[in-house]
Structure 1
Amino acid sequence: MQAAQTTEFDAIVVGSGISGGWAAKELTEKGLKVLMLERGHNIDHITGYTNATKGPWEYPHRGGRTQKMIAEYPVLSRDYPLNEKNLDYWANDKDSPYTETKRFDWYRGYHLGGRSLMWGRQSYRWSDFDFDANAKEGIAVDWPIRYKDIAPWYSYVEKHAGIQGTRENLPQLPDSEFLPGFALNCGEEHVAAQMKKNYGGKRHLIIGRSANLTQPLPGRGQCQTRDACWLGCIFGAYFSTQSSTLPAAVKTGNLTLKVNSIVHELVYDKDSKKVSGVRVVDAITKEATEYKAKIFFLCASTLNSTWLLMRSARDLWPGGLGSASGELGHNLMDHHFRLGASGRLEGFDDKYYHGRRPTGFYIPRWQNLFGDKQQYLRGYGYQGSASREGWGRAVAELGIGGDFKDQMAQPGQWTIGGTAFGEMLPDHSNKISIDETKTDKWGLPVLKIDCEIKENEKLMRKDMTVQMAEMLESSGVKDVKTFDSGYAPGMGIHEMGTARMGRDAKTSVLNANNQVWDALNVFVTDGSAMTSAAAVNPSLTYMALTARAADFAVNALKRREL
């Protein structure tokens, strides 16, 4: 992919993650000359996944973390992402700091492909329960779209991305265009059958729907069940920008890609009421460049896309482009989790499973949907798995000799557990702003984040452990124990909101087509656009919204409306 030889394009895409990749694919395939700008370094498909085939013994610290890493990545060290296996995939906290008014764990990927290389790949459609909820409950503002508006786009992106799963015909979790689903293992099948019996078919344990190929697609091989997706897949078996959307965009000959290009301002023309270009600083040389285009897709990830809007057109709007409603930067959301229950399964000592399946089971939300009314609004689902304990079970015993080796040659006991992921309500007080007193490595002001879970989430969390324990115990699971590992916003790595869609320019940042009300040639299609969070993972919805907005944008260009 060539470096930019011109500074004028039909469209500019900011960011190369899940949303940015889809924007580039759709716009180039529709004939537009597109410039994609990525602030981070390049990672080539296959050859760039330097650790994808390494064994644990090939790492100096067996894949763990060092004191030096903890010092250089103080935020990342708060949870599992910090390890030597894919350290290059995570943004450096010291180079790219931010201010926490309240604790917020911001885990970022500044490289080509962004977090599409590290995501958990859980892929679920929203239902009208989700799109209707704000309006029915009087929370925040109403979504300007419904399931019928986005359903065709779910189908469209699923066929290209490749989503495995099983058809369940659940009204709260619409089925996708599925590849054959991975099978539940025998322990999971047992609990699924018991749950169906115990709850009259109102609760379901199904295979977790994920963007892993169980059949090859053009240019991509099927999953080898290595469960090493987070290191990059040399088979192209899970959806990422590098494996899926970027090759499609490159194939058109219409894409220009520039990495190490930090977009720090949109150039707004007050006469045309449109954005005419972007100002960019080279991350290596710090050289400044300006690029022009007709339309712009902001896909830099939730907080960075909003940061860019806040940095733009401040001579007209002190709060930045899109701030006229007073909602830009507000209504930050995540999924709260890190609690649930687990226990021991008996009766399967002669059973095992094949490979390392890259997804677990999923228990879809059932709360506040079918006539029941909880103390809290919305609900949650569970992600988990059943498995046999590995060699780590013997670490505490520190065994040696032949007996130890014989014991370790046998599979451990069966266990099963699930972690709850709950919806976080949009709240105006959960916000981001620009901290003018602190700058990053490139001299740009950083974000200040002020976010916390509220009473609704706290009430929900009380129920999340209790219900998982009850379901396991009623299914015959032994020695069930609940856990709550604590949670701070951001830990879900599902940040959403801050530039929400809506029906009215007075109360939202974006319209029903993801256009900024104040500059209709600017589209925001990443997590910034979300008006509420639902209980399911959001990335599939980002894909569908991006493809839908790109189609609208190109048609509007043809009609000379942009």
Structure 2
Amino acid sequence: MNLNTKAQEQNTYDAIVVGSGVSGGWAAKELTEKGLKVLMLDRGKKLEHVKDYETATKDPWEFKHRGRITVDQRETHPKLSRDYPYSEHNEKYWINDSQSPYNEVKRFDWYRPDIVGGKSIMWGRQSYRWSDLDFEANLKDGIAVDWPIRYKDLAPWYDYVEKFAGISGQAEGLPQLPDGQFMPAMDMNCVEKDLKSKVEKAFPDRRITMGRVANITKPLPGRTQCQFRNLCSRGCPFGAYFSTQSSTLPAAMATGNLTLRPDSIVNSVIYDEKLGKATGVKVIDKHTKQMTEYYAKVIFVNGSTLGTTFVLMNSISNRFQNGLGNDSGVLGKYLMDHHFRTGASGRAEGFDDKYFFGRRANGIYIPRYRNIGSDKRDYLRGFGYQGGASRGSWARGIAEMGVGKDFKDMLSEPGSWSMGLGGFGECLPYEDNKVTLDNSVKDDWGQPVLKFDAEFKENEMKMRKDMMNDAAEMLEASGFKDIKTYDNGSYPGMAIHEMGTARMGRDPKTSILNSWNQMHAVKNVFVTDGASMTSAACVNPSLTYMAMTARAVDYAVKEMKKGNI
């Protein structure tokens, strides 16, 4: 008994953070800086900043398969290999589908990292504030449930996280895309500047700005400004973009209050029915498959939307037979993702004497303009565009049947300028877009797997027509030639912006979390990743996760001091 007590003491912390990605890293930083002893758990392997970015400085010819994945990798990663994020450049960063399978009623592309830092190493870094247009949308449209917060609740926290993370961008004074604490914006190239002037003249309701991106353009402590290499998904040895490894983890470690355990698969949250609160988590060692329990006064579940949902669903007790905190029955429902892969491209004339410098890790952004003010469409919500212009390189000759001096001379000159605009559209929260636990299949650690049943519906399909046609319309009005529209189809999961399965709300009967990202039913458990989102907006969500996390930690620590948690 004494031994058992001692073991429990050794495994006891003030706080446990499940997951080490964008939101988990922020939770660890904030909790440790407020003086709490914190255990951060991640199923991924250790990835040390700089040292373990093995491919970060490799040239294309140093990759055996020139960046492509092998037939064997396609077979062992049948779902991960469907799309672009999984490549030879960062293959070691991703989970093995074969060990951790999942099932689909309808296709869902789930991109899961297998490293400390999670997707903060590979993310696209586009960082936009949500506005009241987003936070008020459900209420105005009579859809799902109302957000329990508004922009004013998050605004100071956006300020706070932007200053630390480092966001470069341009202030525009748009109510639908609030300005932030920006480092100097990256430059547009000549074709993008021309497009901006012509589009804004032809369409006064539309604005073209430089992407707001978590790549720093001025140094921060321990971090060097962006080198314009555009190799970000390999890990950045310069620390030029915000990641757990470059930013929040060093800050948390500097306090002396953080214990990080990689290779730790969180199986479930332990709920004590007598105390009416969570007391810890059960963790499976990835290699030995042994189960260990860790204990804490407060738990932040930040395993990314679907990892978090799995942990909550798998946390079964007499009190919560359908998942921790799931009195409302909405856990796993209202799964959302952005839909994209539709837009237009065209060829620019008149800039053959101009080129661009470096490989800018960013593009332009056109904020939402549909269903704002007097604009009314036959669908709800809206979309934004990401895009950019560039000149063709020598690689354009790969498919040519060319030979000889003229062919070589042609390839020594840059090709023509082209411009692409791709839309990112909002998906509505639908109750029947859901994920459930499937006990008929087990992963390598004996755990049930997730089963997906979600699709984009009529509202999204109507929106996609505008996303495609508006892009062509803007290119045409700007004088581009050979304009081609495309709709390559979009499945949930592809945009890697999954949200909504443990949503915030005002009423415990229809939501899992309150306005502080705190479980209605279990006061010492918080969820501040994408699972907490009540709607999806059309802008990238990661900056909002950061702000929500810092805000929730501030609240949680104050509540602990008051004895309420």
Judge conservation of contact 2:122–2:233 (CA < 8 Å) in 1: yes
* Counterpart selection for 2:276 from 273, 276, 294: 273
1:387 aligned partner:
390
**C-alpha displacement at 1:454, in angstroms?**
1.1
1:172 aligned partner:
176
1:512 aligned partner:
515
1:338 aligned partner:
341
Greater displacement, 461-470 / 388-397: 388-397
Q: 2:142 aligned with 1:138, yes or no?
A: yes
Greater displacement, 57-66 / 153-162: 57-66
2:405 aligned partner:
402
Q: Distance in 2 between matches of 1:403 and 1:13?
A: 61
1:45 aligned partner:
49
SS at 2:26's partner residue?
helix
**C-alpha displacement at 1:318, in angstroms?**
2.2
Q: Distance in 1 between matches of 2:93 and 2:292?
A: 26
User: Which amino acid is 1:159 matched to?
Assistant: K
Q: Distance in 1 between matches of 2:91 and 2:532?
A: 29
1:533 aligned partner:
536
Superposed CA offset, 1:123-168 (max 9, x none): 0000000000000000100000000000000000000000000010
**C-alpha displacement at 1:322, in angstroms?**
1.7
User: Which amino acid is 1:418 matched to?
Assistant: L
Q: Distance in 2 between matches of 1:334 and 1:10?
A: 34
Judge conservation of contact 2:271–2:317 (CA < 8 Å) in 1: no
User: Which amino acid is 1:317 matched to?
Assistant: F
Q: Distance in 1 between matches of 2:318 and 2:60?
A: 54
Greater displacement, 4-13 / 155-164: 4-13
SS at 1:156's partner residue?
helix
Q: Distance in 2 between matches of 1:283 and 1:277?
A: 19
2:479 aligned partner:
476
CA RMSD of aligned residues (A): 1.0
Q: Distance in 2 between matches of 1:288 and 1:108?
A: 22
SS at 1:289's partner residue?
strand
**C-alpha displacement at 1:346, in angstroms?**
0.5
SS at 2:346's partner residue?
strand
**C-alpha displacement at 1:177, in angstroms?**
0.3
2:3 aligned partner:
none
Greater displacement, 313-322 / 338-347: 313-322
TM-score (structure 2 length as normaliser): 0.98
1:16 aligned partner:
20
Q: Distance in 2 between matches of 1:259 and 1:424?
A: 34
Q: Distance in 2 between matches of 1:525 and 1:273?
A: 21
**C-alpha displacement at 1:271, in angstroms?**
1.8
2:125 aligned partner:
121
* Counterpart selection for 2:104 from 86, 89, 100: 100
2:264 aligned partner:
261
Unaligned runs of 5+ in 1: none
Q: Distance in 2 between matches of 1:405 and 1:254?
A: 60
Judge conservation of contact 2:228–2:361 (CA < 8 Å) in 1: yes
**C-alpha displacement at 1:315, in angstroms?**
2.4
* Counterpart selection for 2:36 from 32, 39, 46: 32
1:323 aligned partner:
326
* Counterpart selection for 1:237 from 228, 235, 240: 240
**C-alpha displacement at 1:478, in angstroms?**
0.8
Superposed CA offset, 1:5-46 (max 9, x none): 920000000000000000000000000000000111010000
1:554 aligned partner:
557
2:301 aligned partner:
298
Superposed CA offset, 1:166-213 (max 9, x none): 01001100011000000111000000000111012x101110110001
1:69 aligned partner:
73
* Counterpart selection for 1:447 from 440, 447, 450: 450
Judge conservation of contact 2:188–2:210 (CA < 8 Å) in 1: yes
Unaligned runs of 5+ in 2: 1-7
User: Which amino acid is 2:143 matched to?
Assistant: I
Q: Distance in 1 between matches of 2:267 and 2:496?
A: 23
1:286 aligned partner:
289
Superposed CA offset, 1:82-107 (max 9, x none): 31110011111111100101100101
Q: 2:392 aligned with 1:376, yes or no?
A: no
Q: 2:212 aligned with 1:212, yes or no?
A: no
Judge conservation of contact 2:103–2:452 (CA < 8 Å) in 1: yes
User: Which amino acid is 1:185 matched to?
Assistant: N
SS at 2:10's partner residue?
coil
**C-alpha displacement at 1:314, in angstroms?**
3.4
Q: Distance in 2 between matches of 1:494 and 1:453?
A: 14
**C-alpha displacement at 1:327, in angstroms?**
0.7
Q: Distance in 2 between matches of 1:322 and 1:40?
A: 26
Greater displacement, 114-123 / 403-412: 403-412
User: Which amino acid is 1:102 matched to?
Assistant: K
TM alignment of 1:348-359, pairs within 5 A = 348-359=351-362
Superposed CA offset, 1:262-283 (max 9, x none): 1101110112211001111100
Q: Distance in 2 between matches of 1:46 and 1:363?
A: 34
Superposed CA offset, 1:395-419 (max 9, x none): 2213233322222211110000111
**C-alpha displacement at 1:392, in angstroms?**
2.2
Superposed CA offset, 1:334-364 (max 9, x none): 0000010000001100011110000000010
